[in-house]
Structure 1
Amino acid sequence: MIVYKSGEWWKALWHFHTSEVIRLLLFRVAMVGVYGSAIAVAILEFHSFNLVIGREYFSFLGIMLSLLLVFRTNTAYDRYYEGRRLWGQLVSHCRGLAMEINAVLPRDAAQSRRYFAALISNFPLALKGTLRGRINFDQLEATPDIMERLRSAESVPTTIVAYLQESVEQLRRVEIITPTHLLTIKPHLLGMMEVNGSCERIKATPIPFSYSFFIKMFITIFIAIMPIVLLSTCGYFMVPITMIGAYVMLGLEMIGTEIEQPFGLDSNDLPISQLANKIRVSVHDVLRVDLHEQKRQLVALPYSVIH
């Protein structure tokens, strides 16, 4: 994730090249410039072909393309924003569950506090690994009695919530937790499962291929005919004009492609590693369990920061 101050335009522009998407975009825009230059030389210097495309038809295509790009951008950002909203809910549920457990556990129950702190902290870390395709079990808090089961589980976050539910039920049986406490604890467990399912839905449901292919093909055709339409009135100035238009259209499509899967490792994806580590710090603080300073430092942003 790129962190910046929205009001400082010049500093943001100075760092725009730090994004891999921008570098790829500039390369593609350069290729459009080469294509436009070849069209200009072929027609103006050698008169290789004389193809005329009506401006009315070109304007109509531009209107249709703009509507498609608006829909594409809104759809991608909706997925991005929903992902951030879900992780915001996860922060609240994990902290709320830690507060409920802290209120009912005796102050001297150090082992139980460490156990619940580890389980609650492991859920966001496991969810982060699931969404990125690989769980690093070495990053999880040590829970020797259940780690082997977690390694073989089909859904590690679900298994962690199941262990939390079992542990809460054991506290109820020994009457540390009353049925009244369950009314406040269960919504947090259900909320964690809801976040897990919603994040998996976003990851497993990309934009339909037919729609993605259609808009990419439409942009390609539009950029291909743009130099031919503009050449008669703009001459060689058609080349930079075409490159600016390609920068806008290709940029919107590429940014949409990047943020429609918000849980990855691209520069503009959500900082779920930071959020997961922030939850771990909060949970340990609430339950009064010591956490190694090295793990606390993982909360710092490992992303591009524009000062």
Structure 2
Amino acid sequence: MGILLSLLLVFRTNTAYDRYYEGRRQWGLLINACRNLAAVLGGALPAEAGGGHRIFYARMLSNFALSLKGHLRDDMNYAHLEAVAGVLPDALQAADHLPTKLATLLQASYERLRGAGVLEPVHLLQLQPYHGTLLEVTGACERIKTTPIPFSYSFFIKGFITIFLLIMPFVLLDTYGYFTIPIVMIGAYALLGLELIAEEIEQPFGKDSNDLPLTQLANRIRVSVHEGRSVDLPGHKKALADPPYTIVH
């Protein structure tokens, strides 16, 4: 029973960690895509186009990351979004799916610049793979969030652990006597601890201490795209990307 339970727990924790790692990998793709978009736009837009385009794209890409964080946590704070010229706050608050709304506004802005002759068709070909990554990452994160570990599977493991711990004292009592008590306590701590760890990390987008630091990652994107578009960012906002703590939400 101990060997069988160990195999089940290993599979359980590995499955939970795969979800955690996949969430972090998707946010890594988002960071790279936003940086690449900022770099391509920085090279494609002429310097004489003025600072309006630089500010627009720096803030829109920052808002996309912040909106995805709020969307995944069901805790959208519109006050944290950057003010963008031509984008009404009421229109954003009325959106049912804010990341898609912002991605659509970004796509429309590329087309307007192409129609005005500021961007060439070849520039759109360069932008599309990175722009498409924004919504691909959104869909992948939603898949992780909305596909929990099946209840019957997790319930079976909890039941198996309970039966195992109830039987253990009767098996060890004749051999170890009073030492059975600490042995069972240590075994219970290890088995229940592994199950609790799996439950902790199987939903990586929450606000628990071991979940992904989405706020830090989103602010890292904000710092990167502002720097890539040569737009100044206040120091207190830059500090949010690299706070003096190991775990930050």
**Normalised by the size of structure 2, how large is the TM-score?**
0.95
SS class of match (1:143): coil
Alignment counterpart, residue 120 of structure 1, candidates 61, 66, 72: 61
After TM superposition, list the pairs within 5 Å mapping 1:4-83 onto structure 2: 61-83=1-23
RMSD: 1.2
Contact 1:264 1:270 in 2 (8 A): yes
User: 2:234 — aligned with what?
Assistant: 292
Matched residues in 2 for 1:140 and 1:302: separation? Answer: 23
User: 1:150 — aligned with what?
Assistant: 92
Offset, 1:152: 1.1
SS class of match (1:244): helix
Unaligned runs of 5+ in 2: none
User: 1:222 — aligned with what?
Assistant: 164
User: 2:125 — aligned with what?
Assistant: 183
Identical columns (%): 57
One-letter amino acid matched to 2:111? E
Matched, 1:281 2:216: no
User: 2:189 — aligned with what?
Assistant: 247
Instruction: Say if 1:268 and 1:302 are closer, same or farther in 2 by CA, change over 3 A.
Output: farther
One-letter amino acid matched to 2:225? V
User: 1:168 — aligned with what?
Assistant: 110
User: 1:21 — aligned with what?
Assistant: none
Contact 1:161 1:193 in 2 (8 A): yes
SS class of match (2:122): helix
Matched residues in 1 for 2:171 and 2:246: separation? Answer: 41
SS class of match (2:11): helix
Offset, 1:107: 2.1
**Normalised by the size of structure 1, how large is the TM-score?**
0.78
SS class of match (1:94): helix
User: 1:201 — aligned with what?
Assistant: 143
Instruction: Say if 1:302 and 1:151 are closer, same or farther in 2 by CA, change over 3 A.
Output: farther
Matched residues in 2 for 1:170 and 1:299: separation? Answer: 32
Higher alpha-carbon Rg:
1
Matched, 1:138 2:75: no
SS class of match (1:257): helix
One-letter amino acid matched to 1:275? L
Offset, 1:303: 4.1
Offset, 1:302: 6.3
SS class of match (1:291): coil
Offset, 1:242: 0.5
Matched residues in 1 for 2:161 and 2:71: separation? Answer: 34
Matched residues in 1 for 2:246 and 2:82: separation? Answer: 27
